[in-house]
């Protein structure tokens, strides 16, 4: 048994069972994480755009309300400079959003001004002259030429019940407060919030260099819609996720965007973290699988060694039991050469005492003694070789050679019991993948059973042949005994089942032989006939060994 291969298979099974569900879970978590990150980024951008739009709208609504209230007061109290100065000063101190006020009469002559700069006042007057809509009331942004923030001017006509228009009130609003509000909404490293008009022209400065009233962006994706979010290329040429919200009552849009590279970087970071955790988990699972599989393999090794030891002991016991049956023939076989050796030794001794003895005669007799002793030694050596313990796995065994060795031991016993041995051994058989000890034990059990089945003599046939189509070697051991009855044929390979008299068999011989053949990948088959089945009785055991 290949225990190292088993350990690798166990580790692989542990890894597959543990990591496949973990990988599926990780993939689902990463996918869900990506969706959540994109949804979070989209929701946050839309929230920023909407929140800033609401705040700017509130700011502008308050300014429009202030100017409208001041216009009504001017209509009531007239153009008294002291009163106008008092109202304007209160407005500047209370709201801190106004930089200057300008009041013109119906002829566009200056009635009152709080401009500290003649330049600012001149720009404002030129703007009023050029833009009739502003004079009639409205909001206008223009480049004052100072700083990054444009000038925001709100104008309202001054009228009363008697006259439709008796003048104009304009206020210069501190738009830097809106610009600072948008600047505080910058998102992480690449996100920003800015204000544009309906043509895409910047009304607030950008954190990455876009200038108010001088640069613009494409408004093709917006197309007059109130709010939304989409991917586009911004004024820098970067791919961004952009959300927008329109200011109700104003042709302005608040836009919040963030680079897709930064958003995707968070997704990639999530993926890298998941991969790192996956690798750590895989290492932990591998270590656990290694220790568990090693423990299991060690237990199996111990059990396997124990079973092999028991099997080896049973094989040797059955082998020696079978050899015990065959040793009766060895007594006759050994007795003949020993008796001859003794006889020729005595003759040689007597001839040495006679004075006329020739040296050559004595040498011939002593040579005969040596030959007889060598014959006995060969018989003993065959027995020892056949009964020698062998535990070497992975060896190849010649079936014909094993049978020949067996018959050198069993032959005399067969001869003394009147059993004729026939051999039909095919030459050039391939060797089987088994150690010689196991093959010897199998054949010894079968041959000894065949001899026991013919106490009054008979015929023993040993046949071997190679079946090329099936890649197997067939070994047949056939006797002409009385056969095995039908009622016990199904039990013949059952452990401890025997038809012998008590004390003459353990019932393990055929069981052990059958199990050994099966472990070698082969099969042991039985075919038997009794006098009730056929005229010719006997039993045929067929052993099949696979070959490479």
Measured from the Cβ of residue 188, the count of other Cβ atoms closer than 10 Å reads: 12
Are 318 and 445 in contact by the 8 Å Cβ rule? The answer is yes
Contacts of 88 (CB under 8 A, 6+ apart): 70, 98, 101, 112, 114
Of 24-28, 204-208, 465-469, 539-543, the one with minimum mean pLDDT is 24-28
* pLDDT beyond 50 at 263: yes
Question: What class is the 186-259 domain?
Answer: alpha beta
Per-residue model confidence as pLDDT tens digits over 28-81 = 877 887 788 888 889 999 999 999 999 999 988 888 888 888 887 777 667 677
Cβ-in-10-Å burial (0-12, 13-18, 19+) of 425 comes to middle
CB-based burial of residue 232 (10 Å sphere; 0-12 exposed, 13-18 middle, 19+ buried)? middle
pTM: 0.51
Rounded CA gap, 311 and 102, in Å?
Answer: 117
**pLDDT at position 539:** 92
Region(s) of the chain under CATH 3.30.565.10: 309-546
* Spacing of C-alpha 366 from chain mean position: 81
Contact 229/241 with Cβ under 8 angstroms?
yes
Q: Quick check: 102 and 70 in contact, CB under 8 A?
A: no
Instruction: Please give the pLDDT value at position 88.
Output: 82
Fold of 309-546: Heat Shock Protein 90 (3.30.565)
What's the average model confidence in pLDDT over 368-379?
A: 66
User: Which pLDDT belongs to residue 384?
Assistant: 57
pLDDT greater at residue 186 or residue 314? 186
| Residue 333 burial (10 A CB sphere; 0-12, 13-18, 19+) | buried
Q: Where in the chain is the domain with CATH 3.30.450.20?
A: 186-259
How far, in Å, CA of 373 to CA of 339, rounded? 10
Residue 250 has pLDDT above 70, yes or no: yes
Name the nearest CA neighbour of 460 among 543, 541, 405, 531. Answer: 541
Per-residue pLDDT for 333 more than 60?
A: no
Cα–Cα dist 154/59, whole Å = 12
Query: Which of residues 503 and 143 earns the better pLDDT score?
Result: 143
pLDDT of residue 392: 47
In whole angstroms, what is the distance from residue 376 CA to residue 266 CA?
92
Question: Does 474 have pLDDT greater than 90?
Answer: yes
pLDDT at 11 over 70: yes
Helical axes 260-353 vs 509-519, angle rounded to 10°: 130
Under 8 Å between Cβ of 392 and 418: no
What number is the average pLDDT over the span 86-94?
80
DSSP state of 201: B
pLDDT at 34: 78
Q: What does the pLDDT read at residue 316?
A: 62
Instruction: Return the sign of the alpha-carbon dihedral for residues 492, 496, 500, 506.
Output: positive
Cβ proximity of 372 and 337 under 8 Å: yes
Output the average pLDDT for the chain.
Answer: 79
Q: How many degrees, rounded to 5, is the angle at CA 372 between CA 368 and CA 374?
A: 115
For residue 101, the 8-state DSSP code is E
* Cα separation values, 309 from 210, 430, 516, Å: 89, 29, 14
Is the per-residue pLDDT at 506 higher than 80?
Answer: no
- Angle at which helices 81-95 and 3-77 pack, to 10 degrees? 160
Classify residue 228 as left (phi > 0), alpha (psi -120 to 50) or beta.
Answer: left
């Amino acid at each position: 048994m290949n225990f190292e291969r088993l350990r690798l298979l166990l580790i692989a099974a542990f890894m597959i069972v543990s990591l496949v569900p973990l990988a599926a879970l990780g993939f689902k978590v990463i996918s869900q994480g990506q969706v959540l990150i994109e949804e979070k980024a989209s929701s946050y951008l839309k929230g920023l755009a909407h929140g800033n739009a609401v705040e700017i709208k509130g700011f502008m609504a308050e300014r429009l309300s202030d100017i409208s209230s001041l216009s009504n007061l001017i209509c009531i109290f007239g153009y008294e400079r002291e009163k106008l100065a008092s109202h304007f000063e209160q407005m500047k101190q209370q709201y801190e959003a106004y930089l200057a006020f300008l009041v013109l009469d119906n002829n566009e002559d200056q009635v009152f001004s709080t401009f500290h700069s003649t330049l600012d006042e001149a720009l404002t007057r030129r703007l009023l002259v050029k833009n009739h809509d502003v004079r009639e009331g409205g909001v206008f942004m223009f480049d004052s030429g100072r700083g990054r923030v444009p000038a925001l001017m709100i104008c309202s006509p001054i009228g009363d019940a008697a006259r439709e228009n008796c003048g104009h009130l304009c206020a210069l609003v501190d738009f830097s407060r809106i610009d600072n509000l948008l600047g505080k909404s910058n998102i992480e490293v690449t996100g920003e919030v800015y204000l544009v008009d309906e043509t895409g022209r910047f009304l607030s400065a950008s954190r990455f260099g876009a200038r108010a009233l001088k640069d613009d962006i494409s408004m093709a994706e917006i197309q007059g819609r109130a709010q939304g979010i989409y991917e586009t290329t911004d004024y820098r040429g970067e791919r961004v996720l952009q959300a927008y919200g329109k200011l109700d009552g104003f042709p302005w849009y608040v836009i919040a965007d963030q680079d897709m590279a930064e958003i995707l970087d968070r997704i990639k970071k999530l993926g890298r973290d998941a991969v790192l955790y996956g690798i750590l988990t895989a290492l932990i699972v591998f270590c656990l699988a290694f220790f568990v599989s090693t423990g299991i393999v060690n237990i199996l090794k111990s059990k396997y060694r124990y079973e092999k030891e028991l099997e080896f002991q049973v094989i040797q016991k059955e082998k020696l039991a079978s050899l015990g049956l065959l040793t009766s023939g060895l007594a006759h076989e050994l007795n003949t050469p020993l008796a001859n050796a003794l006889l020729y030794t005595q003759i040689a001794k007597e001839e040495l005492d006679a004075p006329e003895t020739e040296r050559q005669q004595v040498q011939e007799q002593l040579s005969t003694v040596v030959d007889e002793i060598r014959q006995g030694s060969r018989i003993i050596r065959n027995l020892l070789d056949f009964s020698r313990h062998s535990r070497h796995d992975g060896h190849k065994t010649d079936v014909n050679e094993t049978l020949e060795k067996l018959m050198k031991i069993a032959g005399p016993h067969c001869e003394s019991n009147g059993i004729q041995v026939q051999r039909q051994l095919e030459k050039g058989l391939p060797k089987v993948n088994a150690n010689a000890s196991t093959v010897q034990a199998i054949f010894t059990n079968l041959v000894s059973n065949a001899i026991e089945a013919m106490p009054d003599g008979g015929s023993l046939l040993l046949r071997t042949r190679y079946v090329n189509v099936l890649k197997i070697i067939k070994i047949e051991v056939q006797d002409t005994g009385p056969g095995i009855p039908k009622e016990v044929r199904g039990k013949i390979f059952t452990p401890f089942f025997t038809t012998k008299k008590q004390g003459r068999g353990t019932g393990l011989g055929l069981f052990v032989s059958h199990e050994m053949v099966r472990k070698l990948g082969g099969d042991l088959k039985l075919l038997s006939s009794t006098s009730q089945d056929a005229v010719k009785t006997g039993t045929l055991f067929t052993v099949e060994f696979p070959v490479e």
